[in-house]
Every structure is written in structure tokens, then in C-alpha cells.
Amino acid sequence: MMLEQHMPTEIGTVPVVAAYLAYIFVMVVINIFFTTMVINMHLRDPKQGKVPGWMRWIFLTKLNKLVCLNAEPYTALPVDLIVEETSAERELSDMRNGSNSGVSPVGEKSALEQTMNDIRSYLRLLAVRSTSGIQQSHQELVTQEWQQVARVIDRLLFISFLILTIIISIAMYAHY
């Protein structure tokens, strides 16, 4: 019965249901386009370039606060920072506890050599990690910037879609 009231009696008018359906179809097509753009930004690789300065200023400085997003998203601590106990650390703790376990002076010398070898291997590991860590942290920052830009754009699009849908719905309801 309600549908019959909104159906046109002549060919020149468009039913409200058809107009609303056309609006929804157009919004879905626009949303698919913008969703593709946002996903592209979110998954952007640092090798594809940094966030341009104008985009950083607009989205990360000005609009970031408008859509209630923090400038620094939460990032978990890396798991690989946990260092295992080495044999030198175990021997050192044994010596502190007084359990010498019958180590002779020759054994002490080999323990000292083992400790020095462990220290050298840690120094080599730290040297490698420090050079690769700087490059990796820069790449992570670039990736996080692209992800933050994508979040801001996604939030802006959501808010605009919501406001536009409410306005169109009210206008169509008030018209008939």
C-alpha cells in the first residue's frame, strides 16, 4: 500500500524509491573508487616514495585533528629485542653464586676466551643491526605516515558519506 502511494501516475515523474536507489548505486560506485585509493595508500611500500610535503601538511597536520585521529598511532614493541642468556652470562652468574664447579685455571682461561668470543660476536651483531636498523626504522616511519594519511582520508570519506546520506534521506522524505 505504501509503495503504491509513491508510484507515479504519469510517466514524467520518478518514484522516490527509484531516486533513492539510484542515489545508493552512485554512492556505492564512488565508495568503491575511494576505497581502492585508500587501500593503495595504506599498503604503499616505502620504495614507492615518501608522503609529499603538501599531503603531509594537509592530512597529518590540519585534517588529522579535525577527524579526531592521533598523530602517532600505537606500535607494538619488536619481539626480537629479547636477548638470550649466553654461556658467559651463565658462567658469570655461577661464579657469583660461588659454584665454581671445579674449574681449573686452564678452564678459567677457556671460559675467558669464550666470553671474549661472545663479546666479539655481539659487537658484530650490533654493528650489523645498527646500520640496518636505521634504514629499517626510516622505512617503517614512511610506511606509518602513508597508513596515517590513509586513515585520515578514510575517516573523512566516512563522515562525508554519512552526512550526505542523512541529508539526502531527509530531503527525499520531506519532499514527499
Q: What is the pLDDT of residue 81?
A: 39
CA distance 121 to 51: 38
Q: Tell me how far apart the alpha carbons of residues 69 and 156 are, in angstroms, rounded to a whole number.
A: 11
Q: How far, in Å, CA of 15 to CA of 9, rounded? A: 10
pLDDT in tens, 101-126: 544 455 556 778 888 888 888 877 77
pLDDT band at 132 (very low <50, low <70, confident <90, very high): low
Helix (H, G, I), strand (E, B), or coil: what is residue 27? helix
The per-residue pLDDT for range 16-70, each reduced to its tens digit, is 788 888 888 999 999 999 999 999 988 988 888 888 888 888 888 888 878 777 6
Output b/e per residue, 107-131; b: 16+ Cβ within 10 A.
Answer: eeeebeeebeeeeeeeeeeeeeeee
Q: Where are the alpha helices (DSSP H) in the chain?
A: 2-6, 16-42, 53-55, 63-66, 87-97, 105-175
Q: What is the pTM of this model?
A: 0.56
Q: Determine the pLDDT at residue 3.
A: 65
Residue 8, SS3 per DSSP: coil
6: burial class by Cβ within 10 Å (0-12, 13-18, 19+)?
middle
The whole-number pLDDT of residue 65 equals 78
- The answer to whether 165 and 27 are in contact (CB under 8 A) is yes
pLDDT of residue 93: 62
Percent of the chain with pLDDT over 90: 18
**Taking 70 as the threshold, does the pLDDT of residue 139 lie above it?**
yes
How much is the pLDDT for 82? 39
Q: Which residues, other chains included, contact 64 with Cβ-Cβ below 8 Å and sequence gap of 6+? A: 70, 71, 148, 152
